[in-house]
Amino acid sequence: MRSVQRTPSPRHGPGPSAVDAGLLRDVSLVCLAGGVVGVSFGAIAVAGGLPVWVPVVMSLVVYAGSAQFSAVGVLLAGGGPVAAAATGLLLNTRTAAFSLAVAEHIGRTRLARLVGAHLVTDETVAFTLAQPDPARRRAAFWVSGIGLFTVWNLCVAAGALAGGALGDTARYGLDAAFPAVLAALVLPALREDAGVRRAALAGAVLALALTPAVPAGVPVLAALAGLALHGGVPGRRKGPRS
């Protein structure tokens, strides 16, 4: 009589092997770049005349670098809180599409989805989608999300407390680390999928064309139109698993 072998139950979360040294290294580099920008944001906000608590609370509640810089810029230019909030919301609308891209990798509980939604950024989405399997994607999202959120808020607080003594750290060109890292993270997807390449190229061309004529942040939103080219590329295999 054959013995019955029990099939191990699937893991509900990423195991230790889902987080490798390469991922931790890449996340650390992005955290370093984010920390520099966070210090700059806190220092600029306080040097411009805002109370220390404003950039600190904004970083905890809003947590969106470009939206925060834009909102503070509006406030320092004399605009009201409504105009500042509207500017931030406009720039942050792109995260709605990002959230759909990583929703299945965040978790199934309401708490996981609530916390995960707050951690969705350009960087966490890039880290997540660059991974080859669901377990690694989930691990990448949470490792990068928690790491970036922690470093960003600590550095914003440090910059705010330092005030104007640090000056504008963006003059050193360190903000270029973000686009460089994001480009490196999306390269694997560009190599493997012709549809992704066409969508990315169309979005990039559209964003570059609009940049001189529209406010900051709008070209990023317009670039999402390139997604219309993904999924309908001639020659793509169609089948049950497409």
User: Are residues 69 and 46 part of one domain?
Assistant: yes
Confidence (pLDDT) at 164: 62
In a domain, 58, yes or no: yes
User: Are residues 170 and 211 part of one domain?
Assistant: no
User: Are residues 168 and 51 part of one domain?
Assistant: yes
Positive or negative CA dihedral for 213, 216, 218, 219? positive
230/181 Cα distance (integer angstroms): 23
In a domain, 16, yes or no: no
Question: Which one-letter DSSP state was computed for residue 241?
Answer: T
pLDDT tens track for 74-101 = 777 777 777 777 767 777 777 777 777 7
User: Are residues 130 and 55 part of one domain?
Assistant: yes
In a domain, 216, yes or no: yes
User: Are residues 224 and 164 part of one domain?
Assistant: no
In a domain, 109, yes or no: yes
Confidence (pLDDT) at 40: 82
State the residue for tokens 């406010």. 215
In a domain, 152, yes or no: yes
User: Are residues 209 and 135 part of one domain?
Assistant: no
Query: For the whole model, what pTM was predicted?
Result: 0.65
User: Are residues 216 and 125 part of one domain?
Assistant: no
User: Are residues 178 and 217 part of one domain?
Assistant: no
User: Are residues 208 and 130 part of one domain?
Assistant: no
User: Are residues 206 and 88 part of one domain?
Assistant: no
150/179 Cα distance (integer angstroms): 20
User: Are residues 199 and 139 part of one domain?
Assistant: no
In a domain, 88, yes or no: yes
User: Are residues 123 and 208 part of one domain?
Assistant: no
For residue 196, report the phi and psi dihedrals to the nearest 5 degrees: -65, -40
Confidence (pLDDT) at 172: 57
Please say whether the beta carbons of 193 and 199 come within 8 A. no
Number of folded domains in the chain?
2
In a domain, 25, yes or no: yes
In a domain, 5, yes or no: no
pLDDT < 70 positions in the chain: 1-19, 87, 164-189, 192-193, 215-218, 220-221, 227-242
What is the domain extent for residue 223?
193-231
Confidence (pLDDT) at 163: 75
